[in-house]
């Protein structure tokens, strides 16, 4: 399967004035409207790591997949330090399965006061350190994209002492099969002393989407020394599974932060596609101009009539990724196969 990126609508996607916008996944409802679930946090915080303590999942709506999407509501707001996901919700991934809407996400908590403008919040802040270590994968379920949403009381995938995911679990990439069972690819880190190690990608399975989830395989799915990637999106194919993800170094697809395409028969053993570059950060717009985006992350494919028609991605206007970005948003790209 090869992607052909069509000119992207400059006016499409989802932005919010005064907020960093990230992630983004889309589902079509019974009336034919399109609902995007995305992350946002206020721009008076640094883009990174502001999301660790202040991200919230929101819903936006559009009449077409291209958008533009209009903000509707906060779906998973902060709800208190005593909850495992009480201070931050992030990484939404929406799935419709047999009349139910499944929202996979990352949640976190910490026991400290909320950040305030000008208080110097950053990587060495206890709120950041504790919030990062408390990242876990969860699930919320609703009968409609409009809710009401019922959150699982505990994470569906927690950490495992002594393993590659002893520090955190995040970035859920579920493939929900017809019978409700799930293959879940996820991001993990392990403790190395009192700090965290390199990013890794693991796999888990569950007999039904509510769980229980069990990590499968003898180690990370993609050894970080050879497959340094992030933000996978997976889907079922006639021969097994396919995946797109962010190539962290450019060693896999030929472009740093470009999209890599891979295939697997079982979800554990993956091989690069014959043309591994799924998409480039060099974007052609519908007015004929081109831009090399600073980021193109958290890829999500919208499937219609059994085939992918649109790619959604978190993007920025930075020259050095999001580190020097002034704007982030979720952009939509039309694709042809």
Binned at pLDDT 50, 70 and 90, residue 323 comes out as confident
Count Cβ atoms within 10 A of the Cβ of residue 291 and give its class: 0-12 exposed, 13-18 middle, 19 or more buried.
middle
| Over residues 306-330, mean pLDDT | 94
What tens digit of pLDDT does each residue of 150-207 get? 999 999 999 999 999 999 999 999 999 999 999 999 999 999 999 999 999 999 999 9
Q: Tell me what the pLDDT averaged over the chain comes to.
A: 95
Helix axes 47-54, 126-133, angle to 10 degrees: 70
The DSSP result for 88-131, as a single string, is EEEEEEEEEETTEEEEEEEEE--SSPPP-TTS---TTSHHHHHH
> Which token pair is 228?
């340094």
C-alpha–C-alpha distance, residues 247 and 91, integer Å: 18
CB 88 within 8 A of CB 74: no
C-alpha–C-alpha distance, residues 224 and 78, integer Å: 33
* CA geometry: angle 226, 248, 266, nearest 5 deg: 55
The phi and psi torsions of 222 (rounded to 5 degrees) equal -115, 105
Binned at pLDDT 50, 70 and 90, residue 2 comes out as low
Write the CB contacts of 218 (distance below 8 Å, at least 6 apart in sequence). Answer: none
What does the pLDDT read at residue 223? 80
pTM of the model: 0.97
What tens digit of pLDDT does each residue of 209-232 get? 999 999 999 899 988 777 889 999
Q: Where are the domains of the chain?
A: 4-336
Diameter over CA atoms, the chain: 53
Homologous superfamily in CATH for domain 4-336: Glycosyl hydrolase domain; family 43 (2.115.10.20)
Percent of the chain with pLDDT over 90: 93
The DSSP result for 279-292, as a single string, is E-SEEEBTTS-EEE
What does the pLDDT read at residue 225? 78
What does the pLDDT read at residue 178? 96
What does the pLDDT read at residue 321? 86
């Amino acid at each position: 399967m090869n992607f052909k990126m069509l000119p992207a609508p400059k006016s499409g996607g989802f932005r919010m004035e005064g907020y960093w916008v990230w992630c983004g996944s889309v589902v079509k409802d019974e009336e034919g409207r399109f609902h995007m679930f995305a992350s946002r946090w206020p721009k008076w915080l640094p883009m990174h790591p502001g999301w660790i303590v202040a991200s919230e999942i929101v819903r936006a709506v559009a009449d077409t997949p291209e958008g533009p999407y209009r903000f509707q509501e906060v779906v998973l707001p902060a709800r208190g330090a005593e909850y495992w996901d009480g201070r931050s919700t992030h990484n939404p991934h929406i799935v419709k399965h047999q009349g139910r809407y499944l929202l996979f996400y990352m949640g976190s908590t910490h026991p400290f006061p909320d950040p305030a403008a000008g208080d110097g919040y950053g990587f060495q802040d206890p709120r950041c350190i504790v919030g990062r270590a408390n990242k876990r994968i969860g699930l919320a379920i609703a009968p409609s994209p409009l809710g009401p949403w019922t959150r699982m009381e505990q994470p569906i995938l927690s950490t495992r002492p002594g393993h590659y995911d002893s520090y955190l679990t995040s970035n859920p990439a579920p493939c929900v099969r017809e019978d409700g069972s799930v293959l879940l690819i996820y991001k993990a880190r392990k403790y190395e002393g009192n700090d965290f190690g390199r990013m890794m990608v693991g796999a888990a399975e569950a007999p039904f989407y509510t769980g229980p989830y069990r990590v499968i395989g003898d180690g990370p799915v993609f050894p970080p020394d050879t497959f340094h990637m992030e933000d996978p999106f997976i889907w079922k194919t006639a021969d097994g599974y396919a995946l797109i993800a962010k190539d962290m170094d450019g060693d896999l697809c030929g472009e740093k932060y470009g999209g890599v395409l891979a295939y697997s028969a079982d979800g554990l053993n993956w091989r690069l596609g014959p043309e591994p570059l799924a998409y480039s950060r060099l974007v052609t717009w519908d007015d004929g101009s081109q831009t090399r985006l600073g980021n193109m992350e958290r890829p999500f494919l919208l499937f219609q009539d059994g085939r992918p028609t649109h790619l959604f991605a978190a993007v920025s206007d930075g020259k050095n990724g999001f580190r020097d970005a002034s704007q982030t948003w979720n952009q939509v790209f039309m694709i042809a196969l």
